[in-house]
Structure 1
Amino acid sequence: MFILKSLAIQSISKPFLEQKNVMKMNFHKNISNPKLENINNIHSTEKLWKKMLGGKKKSLSGKKLSFRPRNNNKKNAVIINIKTEELRLRLNFLNQKSKIKILRYNSIVHASVESYLRMSKYIGKIISLSDFYFPMFEEKLENYRLPKELKYLAIIESNLNPVATSKAGARGIWQFMPETGKIYNLNINNIYDERNDPIKSTEAACRYLKFLYKKIGNWELVLAAYNAGPGVVDKILQRNHNRKNFWELWEYFPKETQNYIPKFIAINYVMNYYKEHNISIYHSSPYRYKYTETVLIPIKEKISLKFFAYSLNLSYQDLILMNPQYLVDLIPPGNKLRFPKNKISILKKNFSFFFLIKNYKN
C-alpha cells in the first residue's frame, strides 16, 4: 500500500511519459498472489450480498418472516393477506398486459403470493437492487424480442446476486451450470467466470430462453425447463401424449419445479403491487451508480483493479461490484472493465495507454 501511495504522489508531479513508464512497470511487478486475490475478490462480493439480504437465501418453504414498521400506525403496517377475488382481478390485469399470458390465479399461486408478502423486508431490498439490474435486463430482453417480465426470473434464481452459487454448482444472476454456460459462450478460467458477468450472462439467458420457447412453444413449460432442464420436460410430455399444460402436468414435475411457476407469478404480482401492501423500499443498495451511469471499456495493458480504483479515487468495493466476473486482481489485456462514466475525464488524462477509450460502449 505504501508503494502504491508513493507512485500515485509521484505521478502527479512527473511528466506524462515518465508517469506512463512508472505505472506500467509497477503494474507488472507489485502484484499479490493471484490465488489469494481470487479468494479476496469473491469473498468481498459475497459478503455484500449476505449483508444486503440478511445472510440467508429466502425460501417460500422456510420460516415465515414478518415486517415491523418503525411506527405503530396500523395504516402503515404491511398487508400480508389478500382476498381471493382481489388477487384474481389484479393478476388478470397483469396478464392482459403480459406477453406470456401465464399470470393466472389458483390456490397455489395465492399461497406463494402471501409467502412473499410475509418476506416484505426482503422484497424491499430486492426492489432496491432491481434499480441497477432491471434497465439492463429489459434492454437485452427487448433486443431478443422476449417478454420483459422474464426479468423476474433472476430474482427467483439468485436474489439478483451476481456471484450466487448453488449446491449443484450453478453460478451467477441467471444460475448457469458450467456445461450450459459453455454452450452459450460463458467462459471460465483462472482470471474470470463469465457466469458472474451480469451483461454476458443476461445475453446467454436470453438466448437460452429463446431456444426453449422455440423448442417447446409454451411459456409455463419453458420456465419449468429453465428450472428442471429441457430433458425433464421432454420426458413428461412424452409420457403424457405431448399435453402442453403445466397445471395438468403439475404432479409429474419435481417439487422445486412445482413451486417455480407459482413463485414466478407471485413475484410478478408483488413487484407490481408492493405499494398496495405497504412494503417499503430498502434504500441502502450496495450500488452507488446506476447501470446507465457506467461504461465498458477494452483494456490494452495489464491492470491491477486495486491500484486502478485507488488512482481513480473510486472505492474498490464499487469497482468489483461493477465487475463481479473477475476472480483475480491483475486483469490481462484483451478484457473489458466497467466503471462510472464520471471517471472518463480522469481516465483520458492519466490512463489512456491502458484503455481504448474512443471505442467504449454501455
Structure 2
Amino acid sequence: MATIKIRNIMFFMLILKSLIVQSASKPFLEQKNVINFHKDVFDQKLDLNNIYIEKLWKKMLGGKKKSLSGKKLSHKKNIVLTNTNIDSEELQLRLNFLNQRSQTKILKYNSIVHASVESYLRMGKYIGRIISLSEFYFPMFEEKLENYRLPKELKYLAIIESNLNPVVTSKAGAQGIWQFMPETGKIYDLNINNIYDERNDPVKSTEAACRYLKFLYKKIGNWELVLAAYNAGPGTVDKILQHHQNRKDFWGLWEFFPKETQNYVPKFIAINYVMNYYKEHNIYTYRSSPYKYKYKETALIPIKEKISLKFFAYSLNMPYQDLILLNPQYLVDLIPPGNKFFLRLPKNKVFFLKKK
C-alpha cells in the first residue's frame, strides 16, 4: 500500500514538473520572435525590413505616464481634463489671428477644420509628448526653412507626417520624419544602403523636405495645393487642375481629392491651432523627453575609423539609447570609416573626445 502511495506521489510530481516547465517555456518561445535592439545591432545578417530602431523609439515614448506637468495621475482630484470642445466663433477669431501672422495665409475656418481641431484636442496626452519632442526638432526645422525662404509654419507638416518620429515607416514604405518614399528620397539625395537610411536622418531629410516644398511651390504657386501635392503627389494635383481649370483653390477642388488628402489641409490648419493654443485647452507637456540635449547643443563629427556604436557610447560615458536617438539613420552597429559617415554628438562629448 505504501509503495502504491509513493508511486502515485512520484507520478503526480512528474506531471506537476512537466506543467511548470511547459508554462515557463511558452513565454520564452514567444519572446524569441520579438526583435531585441541591443542584440540585433550586432547581427550582420539583420533583415533591414525589421526597423528595430522604431521599436526602441516606441519604448522611449511609451513609458509609464507618471505625470503631466507635475500633476499626479494617481489622484483623480489632481487631474486637469483637456478641454476638447471650442466655440466656433472663438476658434474663428483665433485662426484669424494666426492667419494674420502666417506666411501661407491658409489658416482659415470652416466646419471641416473645426472637426479636425477637436479631433486633435481629444488626443491631448499625445500632443503633450509631441510638444516635448518639438523642443528638440523645431529650432532645426525653422533654421532650414528660413534658409530656403519658406514659411516657418511648414514645420507642423512633420507632425502630420510622423508625429516627429524619425524612424516611423508607413504601410506604403515612406520613411522618417518627413515620410519620403525611396524614389523621391533619391531625387533629393537621401541615400539608402545596408548601413544607413538617410530618410531617417532628421537634418538631411529636413533639408530634402525644404527642397521638395520649394519645388512644389514654384510649380503650383498655392500653399493649400502644395500641401495637397506633398500628400497625394504632384501628379494627382496636376490631373485635378487639368480637369477643373476654372478652379484653382483647394476648397473649390476638395471633393475631387482622395479622402486622405481631403483631411490633410484641415489637419495642417488644426495642428497650427493646437500647437499655439494648447495651454488654453489644459494640454501639458511631458517633463521627460527622450532628448536630453537641444539641437544647438549637438555637433557632427566624422567617423575616422571602424567603430561599434555601442562601445563608442560606452567610451564616451554616454547612454547607448541617447547616441541612437541622435543618430537614427544608422541601421547597424558597426560603422566603417569613410568621408560620408558622421555622428551627431552632444558638444560636451566632442570636447571630451578632443581631450582624449
| TM-score, length-scaled by structure 2 | 0.82
Q: Check if 1:338 corresponds to 2:344.
A: yes
- One-letter code aligned to 2:264: Y
Instruction: Give 1:299 deviation, angstroms.
Output: 1.7
Q: Is the 8 A contact 1:39 1:327 kept in 2?
A: no
Residue of structure 1 equivalent to 2:55: 46
Instruction: Give 1:300 deviation, angstroms.
Output: 1.7
Q: Aligned ranges for residues 1-362 of structure 1 at < 5 Å?
A: 32-36=42-46, 42-49=51-58, 51-52=60-61, 76-241=80-245, 243-333=247-337, 334=339, 335-350=341-356
Instruction: Give 1:98 deviation, angstroms.
Output: 0.2
Q: Is the 8 A contact 1:223 1:261 kept in 2?
A: yes
Whole-angstrom CA distance in 1 between matches of 2:328 and 2:284: 28
Q: Is the 8 A contact 1:35 1:328 kept in 2?
A: no
Whole-angstrom CA distance in 2 between matches of 1:85 and 1:94: 14
Structure 1 gap ranges (5+) = 1-30, 56-67, 351-362
Instruction: Give 1:48 deviation, angstroms.
Output: 2.4
Whole-angstrom CA distance in 2 between matches of 1:240 and 1:307: 59
Structure 2 gap ranges (5+) = 1-40, 65-71
SS of 1:185's equivalent? coil
Instruction: Tell me the C-alpha RMSD between the 2 structures.
Output: 2.2
Residue of structure 2 equivalent to 1:27: none
- One-letter code aligned to 2:43: N
Cα–Cα, structure 1 residues 308 and 98, in superposed 2: closer, same or farther, change >3 Å? same
Whole-angstrom CA distance in 2 between matches of 1:96 and 1:146: 17
Whole-angstrom CA distance in 1 between matches of 2:97 and 2:73: 29
Instruction: Give 1:78 deviation, angstroms.
Output: 1.5
Q: Is the 8 A contact 1:162 1:197 kept in 2?
A: yes
Instruction: Give 1:147 deviation, angstroms.
Output: 0.4
Whole-angstrom CA distance in 2 between matches of 1:53 and 1:251: 37
- One-letter code aligned to 2:61: M
List 4+ stretches of structure 1 deviating above 6 A: 37-40
- One-letter code aligned to 2:169: T
Whole-angstrom CA distance in 2 between matches of 1:194 and 1:319: 16
Residue of structure 2 equivalent to 1:3: none
Cα–Cα, structure 1 residues 74 and 84, in superposed 2: closer, same or farther, change >3 Å? farther
- One-letter code aligned to 1:288: K
Residue of structure 1 equivalent to 2:34: none
SS of 1:34's equivalent? coil
Instruction: Give 1:173 deviation, angstroms.
Output: 0.2
| TM-score, length-scaled by structure 1 | 0.81
Instruction: Give 1:39 deviation, angstroms.
Output: 8.2
Cα–Cα, structure 1 residues 332 and 276, in superposed 2: closer, same or farther, change >3 Å? same
Instruction: Give 1:54 deviation, angstroms.
Output: 7.8
Whole-angstrom CA distance in 1 between matches of 2:269 and 2:231: 15
Whole-angstrom CA distance in 2 between matches of 1:39 and 1:212: 30
**Count of matched residue pairs:** 308
Percent identity, aligned pairs only, is 77
Instruction: Give 1:288 deviation, angstroms.
Output: 1.3
- One-letter code aligned to 1:346: F
Instruction: Give 1:304 deviation, angstroms.
Output: 1.4
Whole-angstrom CA distance in 2 between matches of 1:340 and 1:236: 47
* Structure showing greater Rg: 2
